[in-house]
Chains A and B, each alone.
Chain A
Amino acid sequence: MEDLSWGAIILRILIRFIPVWIALAVTFGLSIAFKRRLGLYGKLFDNTIGAVGFGLVMFWVYTALAVGLFDWIVTHDPLSAATGMKNKLPGTPLRGAAEGEYPYYLLGGDTLARDVFSRMIEGAWVVIRIAPLATLFSFMVGITLGLPAGYIGGKLDTGLSFLANLILAFPVILLFYLLVTPEMVETGIPSYMAIVLFLFPIVFLIVLINARFHTQPTRRNIILVVLLVVLGWLYLSLISDPITVVRFWPSELDLFNVPAGILVVFVSVVFVNAPTVFRIVRGLTLDIKTRDYVAAAQTRGEGPWYIMLWEILPNARGPLIVDFCLRIGYTTILLGTLGFFGLGLPPESPDWGSTINQGRKLLSIYPHAAIVPAVALLSLVLGLNLLADGLREESLRD
């Protein structure tokens, strides 16, 4: 068989992505049809930059879901090597392809003769699973600490701000090199940090519900008990792992185990992001607490947590949503940085940072192995930044 031309490669890649195109077309069709009823989300489609960004982000989300849940799109196993495919250029036919096997390496082979295209697609699943969730956790931590720091102020504010500045003064890469090593996993420090950091979402939700429903004790108690059981179970399953130092939770009740490498990556990314979120929330709170509706709530005799969570937080949502999009992009960059230095994730992991790191060694001779994941990462982060820009413009308009 002949090598494919560039036109044929592009055509074949477009065909592989058919499930994603269908999903994107449905999303855009439905959203544009009902955009007047969808609030800020609907307005996004009036904004070219925002719509393009949203399209790029959803492209990667659907790609990740298609490969993660159904194993679509990928042409070969991302971990297995094929004979004679080492460093082959894009469009090289697979030597001795078996019946039913995809006959080409669409974007070439890497130094270990694995399919670059499949690894890039599989990498999307790694990033899409970790980045938004880690960002969400850093927001929970940042909001839970930032609101009281801004609203109550005083010594609490001084202390928390000092801590936040302390972490921010650390060069991020030094922190990663100190935290994300096998030796550090052995000491159990990441597990202890996970215990503390993962407690914040529970505290946040409980305080949120309690502040809202404390005038209706029966309803509150029911919601709180359900919440505590579900979240508590998830929390204990998450932090307890038989191979780390924290392993008190019986394995029959343990729902899932996060691999130690992933957990330490997750924890350090949350740890690095949380202080910035804290500063943003604190600044917004300082601004909003002077408004009249906060004074009105204080006069009504509402408690401080009710004011913080149900008066101040909803009014700070605009800048927070925009920052959330930007921060997912930043988290993706951080994950890539970790992969680039070979920290945390196992070396055969298909995530984009690790593949760039492996590809860069032969960059000047075979650039395709590093360029493909680099472009993938670039397009996702670009999409998130454009989306944030579109959201900012649209939310400022009204």
Chain B
Amino acid sequence: MIFFLLRRTATMILTALCLSFIVFYLTNLPPNLEKVAKFQGNSRMTDEEVARWLDHNGYTRPTYVRYGEWLGVVPGWTDERDGTTTGRCIGTGESADTAPRFCGILQGNWGRSTVFREDVSHIVAIRLAQTGKLMFWVMLMMVPMALLIGVLAGMREGSKLDRALSTVSIMTTATPEYVSGVILIAVFASSAVGLKWFKGTATSAMDGANFENFFLPVLTIALYGTGYVARMTRASMAEVMTAQYVRTARLKGVSFRNIVLKHALRNALIAPFTVIMLQFPWLLNGVVIVETLFNFKGLGWALVQAAGNNDIDLLLGISVVSVIVVLVTQLISDIGYVYLNPRIRMS
């Protein structure tokens, strides 16, 4: 068990390193750096001015050295001009002598966002809390709904109820968030023709979420995931219902209700558990779309802002966070699967 966890953690760290390097490399290609320079300086800089600006701000060092700087294993850049020294690790108003040599994520310094002009760790913390709130409600809505649909459909395979519920779950998997969001807003929030039950934006939900302003975004994300989890639950339930021990229970004369609730349900829920955990990467996608559509300023919204303006440090911060979320949920799903299913031994 310990060995398994260690190996998984090592793979996780390696994956996170590779991915952050890819993001770092792609955001630091010459055309992207030029964009950064023009965003920071002014948009009408000549090529020479851009080159000088990049040189003075430590962007001309080789990519892998700068990746090391970001990680905190290579000393940060310094630049001497007009008697004052500036550098990666020297904040405004600090002197070069007292500043630390290393300042990367290993030292807890996630860099500074060029778009929001704030520390990345600060932005990520605030936005992650907002997205966490959204995800919490999505899970609270999606999981019971999906399991209920799946179990009801799977307990009598081929029945009318099964057909109807399966069609519903296929429909929800075929509706990406930007389609269902648009339809839901038009039906429930449009001021022209709609029912006007809910609000079409969730901006006010960031301080005080209530049913009126938060239901639509939560429903939009939950719907897309529901169908998939429900189909997995249905398949697993249908398989369990044909198992020998269920047949034995039936022959003993146990009521159908008790068979479903006491015998089948527990075993049928092993597979959906894994699927629900593996839904997280998908949900992250949905979060970006829904946060953009409903103007809810969470992590996905910050990602769009950062990517649109090539905000290198913020992009790296967000991608590291989202990659860790994905990998940790994968790990939890693996461990949970083994715990729930005693037939599998860890090796």
Q: Is the CB of B29 within 8 A of A378?
A: no
Find residues 162-191 in chain B having any chain A CB closer than 8 Å to their own CB.
166-167, 170-171, 173-176, 178-179, 182-183, 185-186, 189-191
Closest Cβ of chain A to B323, distance in Å, is 5
Majority secondary structure of chain B interface residues (helix, strand, loop or mixed) = helix
Task: Give 15 pairs: A residue, B residue, CB < 8 Å, sorted on A.
Answer: A166-B19, A169-B281, A169-B327, A173-B285, A173-B303, A174-B23, A177-B307, A183-B29, A187-B29, A337-B178, A337-B289, A341-B304, A356-B179, A366-B192, A367-B186
Complex-state Cα separation, A353 to B181, whole angstroms: 13
Q: CB within 8 Å of A: which residues of B? A: 11, 15, 18-19, 23, 26-27, 29-32, 34-35, 166-167, 170-171, 173-176, 178-179, 182-183, 185-186, 189-194, 200, 281, 284-285, 288-289, 292-293, 300, 303-304, 307-308, 310, 315, 318-319, 322-323, 326-327
Majority secondary structure of chain A interface residues (helix, strand, loop or mixed) = helix
Q: Is the CB of A364 within 8 A of B191?
A: yes
Q: Is the CB of B322 within 8 A of A382?
A: no
Q: Which residues of A contact B174 (CB under 8 A)?
A: 329, 378, 381-382, 384-385
Q: Is the CB of B182 within 8 A of A370?
A: yes
> Quick one: which of B18, B176, B308, B315 has the most chain A CB within 10 A?
B176
Closest Cβ of chain B to A224, distance in Å, is 37
Q: Is the CB of A169 within 8 A of B183?
A: no
Q: Is the CB of B322 within 8 A of A367?
A: no
Closest residue of chain A to B281, judged by CB? Answer: A171
Closest residue of chain A to B319, judged by CB? Answer: A174
Q: Is the CB of B178 within 8 A of A187?
A: no
Q: Is the CB of B179 within 8 A of A365?
A: no
Cross-chain contact of B186 among A184, A336, A370, A385 (Cβ < 8 A): A370
Contact A169 to B326, CB < 8 A, known contacts A177-B303, A385-B174: yes
Closest residue of chain A to B26, judged by CB? Answer: A178
Q: Is the CB of B307 within 8 A of A174?
A: yes
A-B contact count (CB 8 A): 140
Contact A367 to B179, CB < 8 A, known contacts A169-B326, A173-B285: no
Q: Is the CB of A169 within 8 A of B15?
A: yes
Find residues 344-398 in chain A having any chain B CB closer than 8 Å to their own CB.
353, 356, 359-360, 363-367, 370-371, 374-375, 377-378, 381-382, 384-386, 389
Complex-state Cα separation, A381 to B177, whole angstroms: 13
Contact A165 to B304, CB < 8 A, known contacts A363-B185, A364-B185: no
Task: Known pairs A171-B303, A173-B300, A353-B178; list 20 more (Cβ under 8 Å).
Answer: A169-B15, A170-B19, A171-B322, A173-B288, A173-B303, A174-B319, A178-B27, A183-B31, A183-B310, A341-B292, A360-B293, A364-B190, A365-B190, A367-B182, A367-B190, A375-B183, A381-B174, A381-B175, A381-B176, A385-B170
Q: Is the CB of B176 within 8 A of A336?
A: yes
Cross-chain contact of A184 among B26, B322, B327 (Cβ < 8 A): B26
Q: Is the CB of A340 within 8 A of B289?
A: yes
Complex-state Cα separation, A359 to B29, whole angstroms: 34
In the complex, per-residue mask of A288-307: 1 if CB is within 8 Å of any chain B CB, else 0 = 00000000000000000000
Q: Which residues of A contact B315 (CB under 8 A)?
A: 174
Q: Is the CB of B170 within 8 A of A389?
A: yes
Q: Which residues of A contact B292 (CB under 8 A)?
A: 340-341
Q: Is the CB of B179 within 8 A of A363?
A: no
Cross-chain contact of B323 among A170, A356, A364, A375 (Cβ < 8 A): A170
Closest residue of chain B to A386, judged by CB? Answer: B170
Q: Is the CB of B29 within 8 A of A184?
A: yes
Q: Is the CB of A360 within 8 A of B176?
A: no
Q: Which residues of B contact A382 (CB under 8 A)?
A: 170-171, 174-175
Q: CB within 8 Å of B: which residues of A? A: 49, 162, 165-166, 168-174, 177-179, 183-184, 186-187, 189, 329, 333, 336-337, 340-341, 353, 356, 359-360, 363-367, 370-371, 374-375, 377-378, 381-382, 384-386, 389
Complex-state Cα separation, A173 to B286, whole angstroms: 9
Closest residue of chain B to A173, judged by CB? Answer: B288
Complex-state Cα separation, A240 to B325, whole angstroms: 40
Q: Is the CB of B179 within 8 A of A166?
A: no
Q: Is the CB of B307 within 8 A of A166?
A: no
Q: Which residues of A contact B11 (CB under 8 A)?
A: 162
Complex-state Cα separation, A382 to B327, whole angstroms: 30
Q: Which residues of B contact A168 (CB under 8 A)?
A: 281
Contact A178 to B23, CB < 8 A, known contacts A329-B174, A364-B190: yes
Q: Is the CB of A183 within 8 A of B192?
A: no
Q: Is the CB of A333 within 8 A of B19?
A: no
Q: Is the CB of B170 within 8 A of A374?
A: no
Q: Which residues of A contact B176 (CB under 8 A)?
A: 333, 336-337, 377, 381
Complex-state Cα separation, A184 to B29, whole angstroms: 8
Q: Is the CB of A171 within 8 A of B319?
A: yes
Contact A187 to B183, CB < 8 A, known contacts A165-B15, A385-B170: no
Closest residue of chain B to A174, judged by CB? Answer: B319
Complex-state Cα separation, A187 to B29, whole angstroms: 8
Q: Which residues of A contact B192 (CB under 8 A)?
A: 364-367
Q: Which residues of A contact B173 (CB under 8 A)?
A: 385
The 8 A-B residue pairs with the shortest CB-CB distance, nearest first, are: A177-B307, A367-B186, A183-B31, A382-B174, A381-B174, A374-B179, A333-B176, A178-B26
Q: Which residues of B contact A378 (CB under 8 A)?
A: 174-175, 179
Closest residue of chain B to A48, judged by CB? Answer: B163
Complex-state Cα separation, A168 to B326, whole angstroms: 9
Complex-state Cα separation, A283 to B25, whole angstroms: 32
Complex-state Cα separation, A183 to B307, whole angstroms: 12
Complex-state Cα separation, A92 to B73, whole angstroms: 66
